[in-house]
């Protein structure tokens, strides 16, 4: 049975540069996801971020977990619910969020998405037919911070496009996407959200 995650609203998230330094030298493809990824692509911090999400291949999670010694690792099993990693090994394939906590301060530092993969290829957890080599999926800032391609990030934001932050991310990003990126997002939305309101603007 899932336990309640301790102080699950108590976030003091690291910034992208901090988690990049923390994971420096890790031989696993990983990237900044969600809203921070959009800001890194656009080259500016447009709003405050309450949390920080990164993504890693689920099948290589143990390699990443080796870097988390000294931190609390919780596998999220539902809203406000989770289990310590050592109790949740059997839940790694049917969940995808992992919260990382500093035990001294009690603050959550980042959320790690564990995503499907096939070797060196990312696989979309919402539509396995959507795939992309990690070498293409992961882009970097001039400072070397890895982030997910914006069209992929927007695909996941589309599920909650009614939220103001996601609508703004779409509005700010689409004018910066070239034809190839727009086409990928349009085709992906047609598969995952075939009647989505964003499709009209991508036509």
pLDDT one-digit tens code per residue, 40-76: 999 999 999 999 999 999 999 999 999 999 999 999 9
Model confidence at 80, pLDDT cuts 50, 70, 90, reads confident
List the one residue out of 40, 23, 4, 2 whose CA is nearest residue 110.
23
The rounded distance, in Å, linking the Cα atoms of 130 and 128 is 5
In CATH, what number does 8-148 get?
Answer: 3.30.460
What local confidence, expressed as pLDDT, does residue 60 receive? 96
pLDDT band at 144 (very low <50, low <70, confident <90, very high): very high
8 A C-beta contact, residue 186 and residue 203: yes
Helical pair 150-157 and 164-173, crossing angle rounded to 10 deg? 150
Report the residue count for the chain: 203
Residue in the block written with tokens 């976030």: 11
pLDDT mean over 34-44: 98
Q: What mean pLDDT is reported for the chain?
A: 94
Q: Where in the chain is the domain with CATH 3.30.460?
A: 8-148
Give the integer Cα–Cα distance in Å for 49 and 127: 27
What tokens were used for 123? Answer: 């696989």
Per-residue pLDDT band for 78 (boundaries 50, 70, 90) equals: confident
Cα(137)–Cα(147) distance, rounded to whole angstroms? 8
Q: Give the pLDDT confidence score for residue 3 in this predicted structure.
A: 57
Measured CA to CA, the distance from residue 110 to residue 95 in angstroms comes to 16
pLDDT at 1: 47
């Amino acid at each position: 049975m899932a336990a309640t995650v301790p102080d699950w609203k108590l976030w003091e998230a690291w910034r992208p540069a901090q988690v990049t330094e923390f994971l420096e030298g890790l031989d696993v493809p990983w990237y900044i996801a969600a809203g921070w990824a959009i800001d890194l692509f656009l080259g500016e911090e447009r709003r405050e971020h309450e949390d920080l999400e990164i993504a890693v291949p689920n099948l290589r999670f143990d390699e990443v977990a080796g870097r988390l010694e000294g931190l609390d690792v919780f596998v999220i099993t539902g809203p406000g619910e989770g289990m310590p990693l050592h109790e949740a090994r059997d839940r790694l394939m049917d969940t995808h969020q992992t919260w990382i906590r500093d035990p001294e301060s009690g603050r959550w530092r980042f959320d790690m998405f564990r995503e499907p993969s096939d070797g060196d290829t990312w696989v979309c957890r919402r539509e396995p037919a959507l795939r992309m080599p990690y070498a293409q999926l992961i882009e970097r800032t001039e400072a070397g911070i890895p982030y997910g391609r914006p069209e992929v990030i927007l695909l996941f934001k589309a599920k909650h496009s009614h939220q103001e932050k996601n609508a703004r991310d779409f509005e700010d990003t689409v004018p910066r996407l070239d034809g190839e990126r727009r086409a990928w997002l349009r085709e992906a939305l047609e598969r995952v959200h075939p009647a989505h309101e964003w499709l009209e603007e991508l036509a």
